[in-house]
Amino acid sequence: MALIETVRAERLAKIVRLKEVGMDAYPARSLRTHTVAQFLENHAVLEQNDEQVTLAGRVMSTREHGGSLFVDIFDGTKGQCFVQRKNLGESSYDLFITTVDTGDIVEFSGMAFTTKRGMPSLDAIGWRMLAKSLRPLPDEWYGIKDEDERYRKRYLDILLTKDLTERIKRRSAFWNVIRSYLLERDFIEVETPVLETTTGGAEARPFRTHHNALDMDVYLRISAGELWQKRLMVAGLPKVFEIGRIFRNEGMSAEHAQDYTQVEFYEAFKDYEAGKEIIVDLYRTVADRVYGTSKFSIKGFEIDLNTEWKIYDFCELMRKEYDFDPRENNEKTQNLHQLLEKENIPVPEVPEVGRMVDLLWKKIRKSLSGPGFLLNVPVYLEPLAKKSGKDPRVVERFQVILAGSEIGKGFSELNDPVDQAERFARQSELREAGDDEAQMSDAEFVEALEYGMPPAFGFGVSERLFSFLEGVSVREGQIFPLMRPR
């Protein structure tokens, strides 16, 4: 820290020196005529025409060469400038030598030329400071090794790590491919409330805050507007979607963050069988347009999205692994404690059947490679999906299985207001028993259903899919993950 403060003091003194000669260390405007990428792309023509250009970028390194300097600058693309005393003049060259440091953002004017080693460069005839850095950059070759420091100073991590810059570009492409996919199919992009008086659309512990103007507590949403989008189904909009931030006040892991981006979309007059075809095509489209491949190595699994997707039956898997049919939960509830203990799985604080069954399922899930669809989940595990016409003990829901995890969920939406009210009532009982992840009852949503909502397919997937395709944790896949203040 003492070294940094010494460097900072020295650089503040250099700002004073710049001011003495009339150069602003932080001017409002740049005179840049070309990006470095444009300069390199048109270098041969610029050199042939002897055209003066102006480049600007961060000084990443300098190398002395016979009383002159080669300066590497970066504006998203790295370029090289040649700084000579004879071209700048004595005073300007000396000012550059005495005031410019690695990390400064500098503007160079000059002519395109090619070095003896064939490197396209700019032969500078003038320069100007655009932003004087007060702190030294970490070594460009070694970067920041401490993970906590990398996340706290993500801007430096990105600056020094090309892979992170490329990941940010892919993250943008990932969401824009999904957006384009839906827009091309006549979906309407909507925005729904982030602040809610009751949370819905998922089972999760919400963040609570206070709305001063209305003097009431509200919650940050835990889904990307599921119940709001289904109101739009009632309103007659047949295809809607939202890509937005959601918030869940839960634990952290390689697959879980507390605030993250999710897409949810709904299409009237479709069911989850039709939805499976859409999702296979969507995932393959994302893989092709963002990564140019269908094959990924994820958590030790080799995944090919272009293979035929598997079908996993929830009840069959549970029966095979534990000799327990989760549809008959009332008969063997007493055995769930014993099963959890046998599998070394902690019993949840609220020992409710659904929670215990879900914990047992998660152990099975870890061995499933996918890509595939998990079907036939019991009704008590999904309060928003329509019951199966073949077996009313399960719902018409699928979850995408990839590399031992659930990466997306879709179902035939429950549009029976009486059934919905009964399931909300059951969730309310769980909340009263202490399960703060159970869904809140939403009487206004039930009222909307009473006006009639068409049969519909709904689906949601979060940025967990992006992190899986990248082969990193959700936290690493985010640009600025949340950090505890020092």
Extract the tokens encoding 157. Answer: 């991590």
Per DSSP, the three-state class of 192 is coil
> Are residues 303 and 369 in contact, defined by beta-carbon separation less than 8 angstroms?
yes
Furthest-apart CA atoms within the chain: distance in Å: 92
User: Cα–Cα distance between 29 and 32 in angstroms, integer?
Assistant: 9
**Quick one: pLDDT at residue 397?**
96
Domains in the chain, please, with CATH? 2-137 (2.40.50.140), 159-309+370-477 (3.30.930.10)
Q: What is residue 431's predicted lDDT score, i.e. its pLDDT?
A: 81
Q: pTM for the complete prediction?
A: 0.91
- Given its phi and psi angles, is residue 206 left (phi above 0), alpha (psi -120 to 50 degrees) or beta? beta
Question: Do the beta carbons of residue 315 and residue 327 sit within 8 Å?
Answer: yes
Assigned token pair, 170: 């892919």
DSSP, residue by residue, 379-399: GGG-TTBPBPSS-TTEESEEE
pLDDT score for 146: 81
* Cβ count within 10 A of residue 37: 13
Q: What are phi and psi of 54, to 5 degrees?
A: -130, 125
pLDDT of residue 334: 62
User: Following DSSP, what letter does each residue of 195-260 receive, concatenated?
Assistant: EESS--SS--PPPEEEETTTTEEEEE-SSSSHHHHHHHHHTT--EEEEEEEEE-----BTTB-SEE
Contact predicate 404/365, CB 8 Å: yes
Q: Which residues pair with 264 in a beta bridge?
A: 242, 460
Give the chain's mean pLDDT: 93
According to DSSP, the residues that pair with 71 across neighbouring strands are: 62, 81
- CB neighbour burial string for 393-409, b if at least 16 within 10 angstroms, e if fewer: bbbbbbbbbbbbbbbbb
Beta strand 456-462 pairing with 68-74: unpaired
Q: What single string gives the DSSP state of each residue in 23-82?
A: --SS-S-----S-HHHHHHTHHHHHHHT-EEEEEEEEEEEEEETTEEEEEEESSSEEEEE
Distance CA 305, CA 293 (A): 9
- Answer whether 230's CB lies under 8 Å from 221's CB: no
User: How far is it, in rounded angstroms, from Cα 210 to Cα 213?
Assistant: 9
Asked if 295 and 303 touch (Cβ cutoff 8 Å), the reply is: yes
Return all residues near 200 (Cβ < 8 A) that are at least 6 apart. 222, 223, 226, 227, 439, 440, 442, 445
| pLDDT tens-digit profile, the chain (486 residues) | 688 899 999 999 999 999 999 999 999 999 999 999 999 999 999 999 999 999 999 999 999 988 899 999 999 999 999 999 999 999 999 999 999 999 999 999 999 999 999 999 999 999 999 999 999 998 765 667 788 889 999 999 999 998 999 999 999 999 999 999 999 999 999 999 999 999 887 788 899 999 999 999 999 999 999 999 999 999 999 999 999 999 999 888 889 999 999 999 999 999 999 999 999 999 999 999 999 999 999 999 999 999 999 999 999 999 999 988 898 865 455 678 888 888 888 888 777 788 889 999 999 999 999 999 999 999 999 888 999 999 999 999 999 999 999 999 999 999 999 999 998 888 888 888 787 777 888 999 999 999 999 999 999 999 999 999 999 999 999 999 999 888
Q: Count H helices and E strands in the chain, helices first.
A: 17, 20
Distance CA 201, CA 465 (A): 19
Amino acid in position 255 = E
Q: List the Cα angle 370/373/375 in 5-degree steps.
A: 135
Would you say 463 and 245 are in contact if contact means Cβ atoms under 8 Å apart? no
Q: How far is CA 185 from CA 79, 192, 239, 275, 278, in A?
A: 42, 21, 9, 14, 11
d(Cα 121, Cα 55) in Å, to the nearest integer?
11
